[in-house]
Amino acid sequence: MTSPASTSRRRTLRWIGAIGGAALAGCAMAPAAAPGATPLARAIAPGVYLLPGTGGSADELNLGRIGNAGFIVGETGVVVIDTGTSVEHGRANLAAIRAVTDKPIKLALVTHTRPEFLFGGRAFQQAGIPVRMHTKTARLMAARCDTCLKQLRQVVGEVPLAGTSLYKPDQQFDEAHAVEGLGRAVRVLYFGHSSGPGDIAVLDEATGTLFAGGLLDAQRVPDIQDSDLPAWHRALASLRGLGFAPWSRAMAPPHHQR
């Protein structure tokens, strides 16, 4: 990545938060598709797309599809960031990706342990696409998310979650790393236990687009249940220090509230 000292013009960092749609450089908040419909992929930078959630809290009207997801299209493949709330949501996300590109989907990354980002992973696995997450995210999912799924069924109903179940990731990791096989420079960033024990961000270096995952909630009070607040502040400072000029002023430190 080019450093600020070696370029006369600093690139813009677009922040994409987990919930509700963070501010995006040069465009308004992306509208979500109608519940149950195939999401409308919105290009937010060359080769980078947002699959917007509805925001708000999960209920029977929005089918729990409240979280943002996205994907990055490289020369030789695609990486997906977060998988959706259910098997059907995951399939809808896959259909939205296929409406944009027929390049092979190499990988689906789960950024953090919340139902609206991980339970669609089964649909990706059924399509032969490996799901990758941090070891600590996988551990927390195994310990907690069976109960999360039961609670989600009570909120949104059985039908929208048909076929959805707890699963094991195909790949786990412990450190930050580059995503290979895309023909494009994409990095998984990990700053240690911050907003959650295994929470990650995903950076597209070519466009300066950051999928911030659980590190950034847009337009809502962050969930601090699993956070280490001082470490979270340090992680946000590290994001600001990536060598890009942040476009969004929404990247404030987390509120110390529940």
Q: 143, exposed or middle or buried, with CB in 10 Å at 0-12, 13-18, 19+? A: exposed
Q: Could you tell me if residue 253 is inside a domain?
A: no
144-169 residue pLDDT tens: 999 999 999 999 999 999 999 999 99
Q: How far apart are CA 138 and CA 153, in angstroms?
A: 21
Q: Could you tell me if residue 255 is inside a domain?
A: no
The total of structural domains in the chain comes to: 1
Q: Could you tell me if residue 3 is inside a domain?
A: no
48-51 and 200-204 as β-strands: parallel, antiparallel, unpaired? unpaired
What CATH number did the domain enclosing 231 receive?
3.60.15.10
For residues 67 and 227, which has the higher predicted lDDT (pLDDT)? 67
* Predicted local confidence at residue 55, as pLDDT: 83
91-113 residue pLDDT tens: 999 999 999 999 999 999 999 99
Q: Could you tell me if residue 92 is inside a domain?
A: yes
Q: Could you tell me if residue 252 is inside a domain?
A: no
Question: Could you list the residue range(s) of the whole structural domain that residue 47 is in?
Answer: 11-246
pTM of the model: 0.83
Q: 247, exposed or middle or buried, with CB in 10 Å at 0-12, 13-18, 19+? A: middle
Average pLDDT, the chain: 82
DSSP 57-79: ---TTTTT--B-EEEEE-SS-EE
Q: Kindly state the tokens that stand for 101.
A: 């590109």
Q: Could you tell me if residue 41 is inside a domain?
A: yes
188-229 residue pLDDT tens: 999 999 989 999 999 999 998 999 999 887 666 677 888 889
Q: Could you tell me if residue 1 is inside a domain?
A: no
* Predicted local confidence at residue 130, as pLDDT: 98
Q: Could you tell me if residue 122 is inside a domain?
A: yes
